[in-house]
Amino acid sequence: MSSGPPDQIVPLNEANVVVGPDAPAEITVRPRSLIRIVLLENRAAMIGTIILVITTLIAIFAGVLAPHSPTEQIGPVYAPPSSKWWLGLDDGGVDMLSQMIYGARISMIVGFAGAAVAMIIGGGVGIISGYFGGRTDIALMRVTDYFLVIPDVPLMIVFAAVFGRSLLNIIIIIGIIYWTSTARLIRAQVKSVRERVYVKRAQSLGAGHNRLIWKHVMPQVVPLLVANTVLTIATAIFAETYIAFLGLSDPTKSSWGRLIQNSLTGGAIFHNAWWAVVPPGLAVTVVILACTMIGQALEDALNPRLKVGHLSVRRFRVRPFSARLDTR
């Protein structure tokens, strides 16, 4: 048998058609590794991935990259950017650039971990609820509704007041607040896959829950979960930012949100110290944008109905009419 690109069949004989009982009319490429293909083809997603990778690398190698200490004063308060300190100094005379680099670490940790917690809780609830249906579904959805209704900011404040302002607590609170939308999305997907004919067939054969969930349902759910998690990372990073801005985060760990808060309490505006305000805000925006671009590209690829190409104004083309003689 001749070989070809891994996911396409090459016709077996010279003729235009693969002959055999009811041979295929169309041969389509299977979206083997959807994630890989999307990220390579979609420019926005590629840019987003590069940004995220760079930020993660900065966070990991902060110790090596930061030029000065992120906690010690090395110069005058609100010293402007110069060749000695590229992003200037903040209200405590601490190097902004170093704080930014170490801040990446905190923001990324909180973002990824918080999203992971949300994904585990939300994914689990969604799968159980969607697969088993009935009373389990109703009960779990009630719980989801309760969590949806709780206002996030007051909950954060109460949580921080009661359990303290540690990093771990922030991760937990983000997970608690943001799992609900994942749960709903996953539940919907699981319910729809559950109804597919091939699942019903496996069930009529006598397949148990284990097999149905792991072999049939999960493969259809995981890509969606991944796409949703990427978007949740964006939300988690933003959540960390405003939690810190509200002063509810660990004051010893200067995340980007903390830096913004510092600039507020330190009166950076009165000192015209834009370098204390803009860089952290910009950094948060860029990272969230990167996550959103990746997440959207994945979601679009998974749900072709989201495409709006058919709404384009462009119309079909007319080629010049060539009055053919009857050559046939």
Partner 1 sequence: MSENGTLLEVSDLVTRYPVARGVIGTIARRPRLQVHAVEGVTFSVGAGEMLALVGESGCGKTTTAQTVMRMVEEDSGQIRFRGRDLTGLSHRDLRPIRREMQIIFQDPYESLDPRFRVRDTVEEPLLIHGGGSAAERTEKITEALVRAGLTPPDLYVNRYPHELSGGQRQRVAIAAALVLEPKLLVADEPVSMLDVSVRAGILSLLDELRKSGLGILMITHDLSTAAHFADRIAVMYLGRIVEEGPAREVVRSPRHPYTKALVSVVPKRDPRDRTVPQILKGETPNPVHVPPGCRFHPRCPIAIDACQGTDPALEPVPGGGAEHRGACIRM
Partner 2 sequence: MSRELLRVEDLHVWFELDGGGELHAVQGISFQLSEGERMGLVGESGCGKTTSILAMMGLLPPNASVSGKVILDGVDMLEKGEETVAPHRWHDIAMIFQGAMNAFNPVKTVGEQIAEPMLLHGTASGKSVASARVRELLELVGISGSRATRYPHEFSGGMRQRAAIAMALACQPKVLLADEPTTALDVMVQAQILELLVSLTRDLGLTMILVTHDLPVVAQVCDRAAVMYAGRIAEEGPTSTLYHDPRHPYTRMLFAATPDLYGDDAVISIPGAPPRLDRELAGCPFQPRCDSAFEPCPTKEPRERSFDGRHRASCHLNEVPTGATAV
Answer yes or no whether residue 18 interacts with partner 2 by CB under 8 A. yes
Answer yes or no whether residue 83 interacts with partner 1 by CB under 8 A. no
Answer yes or no whether residue 222 interacts with partner 1 by CB under 8 A. no
Cβ contact 262:276 at 8 Å? yes
Any idea what the Cα angle at residue 315 is, between residues 313 and 318, rounded to 5°?
Answer: 160
Q: What DSSP letter does each residue of 181-194 carry, written as one string?
A: HHHHHHHHHHHHHH
Residue 315 contacts which entry, partner 1, partner 2, none (Cβ below 5-8 A, type-dependent): partner 2
Answer yes or no whether residue 24 interacts with partner 1 by CB under 8 A. yes
Please select the residue that binds partner 2; options are 1, 15, 162, 205, rule is CB under 8 A: 15
Residue 311 contacts which entry, partner 2, partner 1, none (Cβ below 5-8 A, type-dependent): none
Answer yes or no whether residue 202 interacts with partner 1 by CB under 8 A. yes
Q: Which two tokens stand for residue 129?
A: 């609820």
Nearest to 39 by CA among 29, 31, 49: 49
CB of 320 to partner 2, least distance (A): 7
Q: How far apart are CA 104 and CA 60, in angstroms?
A: 9
Q: How far apart are CA 112 and CA 114, in angstroms?
A: 6
At residue 95, φ and ψ (nearest 5 deg) are: -60, 125
Cβ contact 295:228 at 8 Å? yes
Tell me which stretch binds partner 1 (CB under 8 A): 19-27, 155-163, 166-174, 277-285. 19-27
CB of 7 to partner 2, least distance (A): 12
Please select the residue that binds partner 1; options are 56, 181, 203, 292, rule is CB under 8 A: 203
Answer yes or no whether residue 201 interacts with partner 1 by CB under 8 A. yes
Quick one: 149 or 197, whose CB is closer to partner 1?
A: 197
Q: Which of residues 293-322 bind partner 2 (CB under 8 A)?
A: 309-310, 312, 314-322
Answer yes or no whether residue 5 interacts with partner 2 by CB under 8 A. no
Tell me, by CB under 8 A, how many residues bind partner 1. 30
For residue 56, give the H/E element and its range: helix 43-60
Q: How far apart are CA 248 and CA 241, in angstroms?
A: 10
Any idea what the Cα angle at residue 205 is, between residues 200 and 210, rounded to 5°?
Answer: 75
Cβ neighbours, 10 Å, residue 252: 10
Residue 207 contacts which entry, partner 2, partner 1, none (Cβ below 5-8 A, type-dependent): partner 1
Q: Which two tokens stand for residue 197?
A: 């004919």
Residues that bind partner 2 (CB under 8 A): 15-27, 309-310, 312, 314-324, 326, 328
Site residues for partner 1 per CB under 8 A: 1, 9, 20-28, 30, 196-208, 211, 215-216, 219-220
